[in-house]
A and B are shown apart, each in its own frame.
Chain A
Amino acid sequence: MTEYVTSALFVHTEDTTHLIKPLQNNSSGTLITPVAFDALMQSPQKQLEGVDHVVVAGSLDVIKEILYLAMKYHFSIGILPTEKQKDLIKLYGLPKKLPTAVDHALRQDGQPLDLILCNGKIMLFKAIIGRMPFLDTSIKVSWLRLVSVALKKFVGFRLYPFTFSTDSKQEINTAASGCMILQHHRGIFASRLNAYDHSFKGGMVSLVISAPISIIAYVKLLMRVLRSSTGYKKLPSSIGYIKSPQIDIRSETRLDVIIDDQHATHTPLHCEAIAKAVHVNVGKNLGVESSSANASKEKIDINNLPREKKLFKAKKQKRIPFFSYASDERFQDLFPALREDSRLNSIYLVLMVLSTMLATVGLYLNSSSVIIGAMLLAPLMAPIVSLAMGILRGNIKLFKDSIGKIVLGVIIALISSAVITSLFPHKPITNEMLARINPTLLDLAVAIISGIAAAYSKSFKEIIQSLAGVAIAVALVPPLAVAGIGIGRMDFYFFYQAFLLFSTNLVGIIISATFTFRILGYSSAVRRKASLVIVFIFLALISIPLYLSYSRIVEDRIFEQSLRKERFLVNEKYLIIVKASIIWRQDKRIILMDILAREPLTREDLNAFKKKIQANFSKKLIIRLKTFYIP
């Protein structure tokens, strides 16, 4: 059976005066004595003499003051929350509707609860020191506001040197972007971290510490937090956790402390949990949960925080780097392989000659399977990836060796295919060749994606077999073979276009592989900037013809499409365009058309048709027609 207090003091503010009547008309027969908060604070001792239970309705500050007085004068507390105090309702599991809230506030079943004091100030929800973007934000906030607030916190995101001291006198020196003391608060993202096992009982202070090694690592953490609605069994990387009856927090620079969203104090900060400090009428569910969490002992989980060497490095950083560093193991795996790839040897030369010969023959045979075989055989990708690392790390030896190996490979390929071409008595131009003399921006896109894939697969031993797929995708040797064929044919246009495709692949792979290694953390910065600038200049230069070529292709496709919706009446003869395609020979634009006509077309008709095409589209079009007659 529910028991109620026989009398209670109702502390109200101007905003909550209207609650006096509903409280006085309570169904439990409790005698209510209303008192204004300001009046109470003038002589609290006198007003609270003989009072066993206080009902309070007011702002968070007012409630905190009453909690102070409760500690001092040992009365129990019932809280009447306003509709806006959703966090408070959630924190203590209070009823939302007024009649139930009145009934709940007057019950005689106040639970003993801990209070956390930070530099002497009561903390009900959370206290934040430094920055923990997103993690310190309320789950209920709109996404737009969440992102805008959190993004601001990323500006000047850095690690601060901190010293945390626990009740057992253990001192932890580390660096962190920020830390947060939590009090039974499930309304923020940080509550989804494993660390959440604090409660109102047990006399412990829970501290979550964030020390991301990079922005990317922090974003990964956030993604993990967002995906989960409950905590993880193991603490996520870059998160530390301390639980102790009292914690002292010191920082080298004085940092502001935000307690319950209000700027309250600054470091150094002394936080202590006062066990069973007050008796408060809390919700039923809260009572059950807290009782199960009673047995608490000091807990320190700081494995993910920077210590010793890492701490020294972190202290030197002006801000948190965007990318993480690769692990020492990965460095040790990758570098010997890259050094080996950059060294010139006879195997490379033989493979280069064989793959070019195979590609050249495949091109003449117009056989895509033979050409794919040549792509797989070609050893050119390895020194290009090494060159990317040489640029990134500023490793001059790696850089020079790789360049030398690539240049020699290219010369060998050009000579090989040129020689084969000159030996061939018949030199047809096949579709496989034509496919490699019209590079566009799309080829650059292929090269960039392949470069990323190449650097990525090279970085992880377990996926290195994927390099074969990359080699097929980017196809370095066939364009070189076509360029060589151009030399053999003494056709500069052929050579130029095919070599442009090869250059596109080369530059695209170098740039994207360099940046992929950078993202994977093989260097804190691109060290050989001058080399990268040169590669970028090349990229800019080849982008011009590629862009022109791409826009030309787009324009041609649109034109081809539009022609299918066009008809011509030439000397009373109706011509239906069934199919139209544009090809380029040298710099001449040729339109190939299949047309349907009922009557035979004379030379005069064809001239009139040509005139119409040239008048309405382009004078420079060369027209080739295939006519189908309607019987």
Chain B
Amino acid sequence: MKNLVHLSILICIVFWLGGCDQKPAITPSGKTIKVGIIAPFSGSDHAKGKEGLKGMETAMQLRPYLQNGDRIELVAENDKDDPALTVKLLKKLVNEVKVSAIITFSSTSPVLAMAKVADEYRTPILAALATHPDTTRHNGFISQLCFDDDFQGTVAAVFVRDDLLIDKVAVFSNPGSIYSSHLAAKFESKFKSIGGEITDTVSLTEETGDLSKVIKSLRDNTPELLYLPISAKDLVRVVREVRKLDWKPKMMGSDGLISTILAQHQEEIDLVDGMLATDFFAHGMPLTPFGKRARDKFRGKYKSMPTVYAALGIEAYSILLDAMNRCSDPANRGYINRQIRSTTNFTGIIGNITIGPNGKAQRPLTINSIQGGRSKFIFKVY
């Protein structure tokens, strides 16, 4: 009997050890592949660059080498979200630094500037935050990691109409921002097409004079929701005026709002409490095993939870690495570009990401509510 017990224990140990997931160790090849990062590290959008880089560094700690042992070296450049500077840096990274791929955390305008010359430089660019649909439209080298504004605007409109059961909406937009005006237009057209009424469309610029008066006149038309696809700074201005009037309409912002407010307008966080927003992630939503590992690593490294920008940084690096691993020559720009655009069901932080041959990403969008300084998950839209 004793022998039988010993034998059983031995068998269990053998099975247990045998069952261990022993991935073959990667032997460093000594070769380095350079990856460029173009992002605003200063200026009003500095959070995008800084947080995005943190995410990439976290992902790099999780997987520092390619399968063939090549090491990734990140070369970061600050474009201050200035389109002209962005194009200059693109040229520098491609011609002087000789990067094999570029990841950008710049917003729509600088990325659209790159889109015009992307084919000329023939270097794969993965845009983490530029949601404008034209980002990928007229070139073969920029791919989006994010969903595009056609998807975002449509989802916002149908959610407001069919989930919130709202009939009347007032829309704000910033005509100086391609991102803002496109998103507002998309929302408006979709909302109208499904029977909703747009009570007002407000063009908001730095020069917009008496905002209080504008808001008062909006209130007279009794919209139930204000759609605000504008910068965090402008949004804070609008919300402040709304609160002053003791008016409590529902309000909805767009992607990256909570991250920007947390990073750059922390003192205003109570002001936006209860606000809805479309985004890439939300606090407390179910994560994939990869998402859990990345979150834990990030928390261990930076002692805080990853923001939306950081999470996109993690995904951007991982998708690029995955694409490189599928290339026969992981430093070849053409190969990398083709592989990025054939990413299928890559397991991201909260779900699968597919990047099609047209460079567009199919990924879930989340609808969140800002509560207690955090974005609370409401729905995920595929």
By a beta-carbon cutoff of 8 Å, the part of chain A in contact with chain B is 562, 565-569, 572, 574, 576, 596, 598, 612, 615-616, 630
Contacts and interface: CB of A to CB of B under 8 A. Distances in A.
B162 interface: yes
A416 to B, nearest CB: 42
Nearest to A596: B162
A615 B346 CA distance: 10
Contact of B380 (A565, A572, A596): A565
Interface in B336-382: 345, 351-352, 354, 362, 364, 377-382
Contacts of B380: 565-567
Contact of B381 (A562, A566, A572, A615): A566
Interface in B159-197: 159, 161-163, 190, 194
Nearest to B363: A616
A562 B345 CA distance: 19
B263 interface: no
B269 interface: no
Contacts of A568: 381-382
B382 A574 contact: no
Interface in B127-153: 151
B182 to A, nearest CB: 16
A555 to B, nearest CB: 13
A569 B155 contact: yes
B154 interface: yes
B378 to A, nearest CB: 8
Given A569-B155, A574-B154, A598-B194, 9 more contacts: A565-B380, A566-B379, A567-B155, A567-B163, A569-B158, A569-B382, A574-B162, A598-B161, A616-B351
Contacts of B379: 565-567
A566 B382 contact: yes
A615 B162 contact: no
Instruction: Tell me which of A565, A567, A598, A630 has the highest count of chain B C-beta atoms within 10 A of its own C-beta.
Output: A567
Given A565-B377, A569-B154, A615 B194 contact: no
Interface size class of B (residues with CB under 8 A): 20 to 34
A576 B154 contact: no
A616 B345 CA distance: 8
Given A565-B380, A566-B380, A567-B380, A572 B190 contact: yes
Nearest to A597: B162
29 contacts: A562-B286, A565-B377, A565-B379, A565-B380, A566-B379, A566-B380, A567-B155, A567-B379, A567-B380, A567-B382, A568-B382, A569-B151, A569-B154, A569-B158, A569-B381, A569-B382, A572-B154, A574-B154, A574-B158, A576-B162, A598-B162, A612-B382, A615-B345, A615-B352, A615-B362, A616-B351, A616-B352, A616-B364, A616-B382
A568 B155 CA distance: 9
B49 to A, nearest CB: 30
Contacts of B345: 615
Interface residues of chain B: helix, strand, loop or mixed (majority): mixed
B163 A576 contact: yes
Contacts of A572: 154, 190
Contacts of B362: 615
B353 to A, nearest CB: 10
Contacts of B286: 562
A596 B286 CA distance: 24
Nearest to A598: B194
Contacts of B161: 598
A612 B354 CA distance: 11
A466 to B, nearest CB: 39
Contacts of A615: 345, 352, 354, 362
Nearest to A599: B194
Nearest to B354: A615
B191 to A, nearest CB: 12
Nearest to A574: B158
A605 to B, nearest CB: 14
A34 B357 CA distance: 105
A342 to B, nearest CB: 30
A621 to B, nearest CB: 14
Contacts of A565: 377-380
A562 B350 CA distance: 13
Q: Most A CB atoms within 10 A — which of B190, B377, B378, B379?
A: B379
Nearest to A566: B380
A567 B190 contact: no
A607 to B, nearest CB: 15
Nearest to A572: B154
A383 B362 CA distance: 62
B159 A574 contact: yes
Contacts of A630: 162
